[in-house]
Amino acid sequence: MATAQKKTTPCCATGVVTNNPTTPSSPPISAFISAVDSRSDPPPKTPSAKGITVLVRAQTCHPLDPLSAAEISVAVATVRAAGATPEVRDGMRFVEVTLIEPDKQVVALADAYFFPPFQPSLLPRTKGGPVIPSKLPPRKARLIVYNKGSNETSMWVVELSEVHAATRGGHHRGKVISSTVVPDVQPPMDAVEYAECEAVVKEFPPFREAMKKRGIEDMDLVMVDPWCAGYHSEADAPSRRLAKPLIFCRTESDCPLENGYARPVEGIHVLVDMQNMVVLEFEDRRLVPLPPADPLRNYTSAETRGGVDRSDVKPLQIIQPEGPSFRVNGHFIQWQKWNFRIGFTPKEGLVIYSVAYIDGSRGRRPVAHRLSFVEMVVPYGDPNDPHYRKNAFDAGEDGLGKNAHSLKKGCDCLGYIKYFDAHFTNFYGGVETIENCVCLHEEDNGILWKHQDWRTGLAEVRRSRRLTVSFICTVANYEYGFFWHFYQDGKIEAEVKLTGVLSVGALQPGETRKYGTTIAPGLYAPVHQHFFVARMDMAVDCKPGEAFNQVVEMNVKVEEPGNDNVHNNAFYAEEKVLKSELEAMRDCDPSSARHWIVRNTRTVNRTGHLTGFKLVPGSNCLPFAGSEAKFLRRAAFLKHNLWVTAYAHDEMYPGGEFPNQNQRVGEGLATWVKQNRPLEEADIVLWYVFGLTHIPRLEDWPIMPVDRIGFMLMPHGFFNCSPAIDVPPSTSDVDEKENGIHTNKPIQNGLIAKL
């Protein structure tokens, strides 16, 4: 994941570390350092200009940097070479290659002594301590490999050699640490499989005959979307790799931006064996006429299809004449008092690491170790075929990251932009790069604070500026934009924007559907829901190795009438500590202004209150499906809006690692919390489930406007005084050429005010 403008730049520049910094004393950290040092060669010592002995750092990639293209090549070559037979090697298909994120102590050591800005305050202080090792543990990759010959899924761990990856272009092999066959699962589907499935279905003679009945003979007009089979009965068991495609048809072949989803083909049932790429079942169950062509069916400007574009909007231009206020060093971001790292994975997409706030004399104050969206589920509410089986797990079955856009082809970011590339393996083990995949930029956000003194007539107003990190992905018909906003007043906002086009069904003449909205002649859109799961590995005022967080639920209570409430106006906030995992399965309740606070149990602010960050829900919902709905077998985590767990490194995905065709009930969060681990003082992980119920409107067709949904992490007693008084610097020390900053001049249709 490099900058689009400078792709050959190494992960991070090399540097030096003194052998007499402030050293750690915590037993876990000391033990870790000793262990690392024992695995390393004796550190080479070099005299500095001032006569101070320094250790030359050999490693150039931060432990949390995403895998480079060369490292992915090394990992794939290593696994392929380890195949027992030529047949096994030929059958290998590479679903995911991801970085194995190291222990939090490794990250702390790297940030303290190995990578700028050096932050020795991350580790406990002591009068003396061990020499810091000359290098960190080797980076490791984890590979999910599907064997097309045996229908077998395996998990591989490979140790990467930085020298090999950097100097030999990734052609040298690494070292296999482990290889494990995972029984009774199907890994996520791949774009290569989708394309092969579409071709197989189009070439199937009974399918061509069925399309001919509907007046379609040109197969180039036909769209076959291979949806995962889910799990509805034993027929969907993972012993076979299955897809149940949905069929659509364009009206003309010379318009590449035509909305093909406007003409669904109803009544055709297809089941495809994705391992052998053969049609297992085919049935033309009923003939429903294709919806008529709609003159506004295209993505192109309305004027090209007989409509009228809006012409009364004047240009809106904004500029940042002195450049942006953020600074970028590799994947390390600094803006105002915030700093954090960014990463990217095939399943989650954007990951935010090591979030901290620089708070005056208190220095660097951690907020969270890791933030990401780990799953999303889209259940449809129409019981008719084929819509009842539309409950996509877009992260676990497909991958949000692998479906991300190259933003150079159309970006919703304005101003000075820093882009980051993302590297993935394709199904055959080659490396593919999504250029300009992640967007980093500043935005004006209206008023941060304002007050006018009515006696003097004097007024004061301060603008709000925020830093936004985002990516956008397309999953079939829908587009999802994922945004993390950092504010000057200490807030962090997570936002999802939903747009694209609706997934629709065809109607018989004169027919209507109870479970959807008729949006055009012969066309209706079923009601459905979108659920997202944010995983937040919190670390409020906690150094690595510390587990001093707890979660408190706040509810507003109405005081009972009586001596304490003689005017019947009294209400108050009541807190309750969530002491265990089973107790911490909670739902939103707007009637009590319910929210949750992650507090540090050992740190106070100037008024003596414990410091914390509160999770403030936005609009939300729960599934409307009945408790016995088949998709809830795989998505038991949707039954509550909030889950809290004690950190465990292997608990990453709320529906389990492999939700595709998963027949196991309640795997993931619903199973982990049965351990009922204590939470009163722990390393806390929040799982926030939020969603919206989409009852389609006529205005949603043919192009669906953006819906927004999200939540806030807000300081709660975290600061001694409000950070809102800070004003962004008027100048920037960002080197545009070195850091790959991109801007379009003039910038239109946005607003970034220079304060």
Q: Which residues belong to the active site?
A: 394, 478
Q: Position of tokens 């590979």?
A: 143
Contacts of 29-36 with CB under 8 Å at 24 or more apart are 29/105, 29/108, 29/109, 29/123, 29/124, 29/544, 29/545, 30/129, 30/130, 32/103, 32/105, 32/106, 32/109, 33/109, 33/129, 33/130, 33/132, 33/133, 34/130, 36/106, 36/109, 36/133, 36/136, 36/137
User: 216: Cβ–Cβ under 8 A, 6 or more apart, which residues?
Assistant: 222, 249, 290
User: Residue 349: which region, alpha, beta or left (left: phi > 0; alpha: psi -120 to 50)?
Assistant: left
User: In DSSP terms, which residues pair with 238 in a beta bridge?
Assistant: none
Q: What is the dihedral of CA 196, 199, 203, 206, to 10 degrees?
A: 90
Q: Determine contact, residues 448/464, Cβ cutoff 8 Å.
A: yes
Burial of 335 (0-12, 13-18, 19+ CB in 10 A): buried
**3-state DSSP assignment of residue 460:** strand
How is residue 738 written in tokens? 């070195």
Contact between 137 and 100 (Cβ < 8 Å)? no
CA distance 528 to 505: 13
Take residue 277 and report the two structure tokens written for it.
Answer: 């790429």
- CA torsion, points 209, 212, 218, 222, in degrees to nearest 10? -80
Nearest to 425 by CA among 71, 54, 21: 71
**Cβ-Cβ contacts under 8 Å for 608 (sequence gap 6 or more):** none
DSSP state of 632: H
Q: Is the backbone peptide bond immediately before 386 cis, with ω within 30 degrees of 0?
A: yes
Distance CA 42, CA 39 (A): 9
Looking from the CA of 346 toward its CB, the CA atoms found within 13 Å total 31
* DSSP string for residues in 507-568: --TT---TTEEEEETTEEEE-EEEEEEEEEEE-TT--TT---EEEEEEEEEEPPSBTTBTTS
Cα angle 498-585-597, degrees, rounded to a multiple of 5: 80
Tokens 């000359």 appear where?
Answer: 134
Q: Are 376 and 383 in contact (CB under 8 A)?
A: no
β-strand partners of 344: 350
Query: Which DSSP state fits 237?
Result: -
What are residue 570's phi and psi, to 5 degrees?
Answer: -85, 135
